[in-house]
Amino acid sequence: MPVFDNHFHLRVDGLAALAVKQFVAAGGTHLLLTHSPYPDLPVSTADDYRQAFDRTLQLAEVARREGAVVFVALGPYPVELVWIADRVGLPAAREAQMAGMEVAASHVREGRAIALGEVGRPHFEVPPEIRLAANHVLEHGMRLAKEAGCAVILHAEDPTETTFQEWAAMAARAGLSAEKIVKHHSTPIIAAGERTGIWPSLLAKEDTVTAALAEGTRFLLETDYMDDPRRPGAVLGPATVPKKTRLWREKGILTEETVRLIHGENPKRIYGLDL
């Protein structure tokens, strides 16, 4: 039976291969390696994004050598919009992120990635013009995802049913099914996800998962492991998803059928994976 971590990062100055080794040793089988910024590779052009995405693809190869089945999501990290705007102004920053989205989509079309992510908007309060620009970039990414036939992994503020409705409407304008939108680091609003089409991806914490199961099984599990040497084990450690899945199975919180859905059928529905 697969054990799938839906949101996992690696860095060359972090544990890298050792983190994946821990994941596999705990019983993990599949992970989605999601692009995030690298401190030594600042971005402000399409070529910068190519270089940064190439590193993520190289780290995916490192992870595969440890025995995991590794899928990749690529995209311009939303908070970078703020950082780039501070250097070159907001219009240029928006264009840079749109170009980064194009580069990421080309990797999907050519089979090196399966999703655009994590993309979206800053998770903290920003001026209205920043939020508007971020939404513009996101909707552009949704149009590209429609063309490439892939999912979109959202980074944004903690969601409510209202924000799920907003993103579903955005996807509709782009011609993309809301069933292809995954809200990473989501609150456990499973019923709202069912009503809007958006998929919640939840941190593998017992209180979060228990709350989610009260509403259904239409969600994914993640660690959002950052591999940041300044924050060891943040957000959750690399072995958390397989360890917690086994523990919750033993405690009766998860059934065998629920494990099969969360780790197998749900990723298959979203990403088209054969796990």
Q: What is the pLDDT of residue 266?
A: 98
Q: Residues 234-243: what's their mean pLDDT?
A: 98
How many Cα atoms within 13 Å fall on the side-chain side of residue 237?
Answer: 11
- For the cut 90, the answer to whether the pLDDT of residue 274 exceeds it is no
On the 0-12 / 13-18 / 19+ scale of CB atoms within 10 A, 57 is middle
Residue 220 has which token pair?
């994914």
Domains of the chain: which residue ranges?
4-271
Q: What is the pLDDT of residue 238?
A: 98
**N residues, the chain:** 275
Give 84-142 pLDDT, tens digit per residue: 999 999 999 999 999 999 999 999 999 999 999 999 999 999 999 999 999 999 999 99
| Predicted TM-score (pTM) of this structure | 0.96
Q: What is the pLDDT of residue 84?
A: 96
State the CATH architecture for 4-271.
Alpha-Beta Barrel (3.20)
Q: In Å, what is the CA distance from 11 to each residue of 95, 98, 200?
A: 26, 24, 25
Amino acid letter for position 250: E
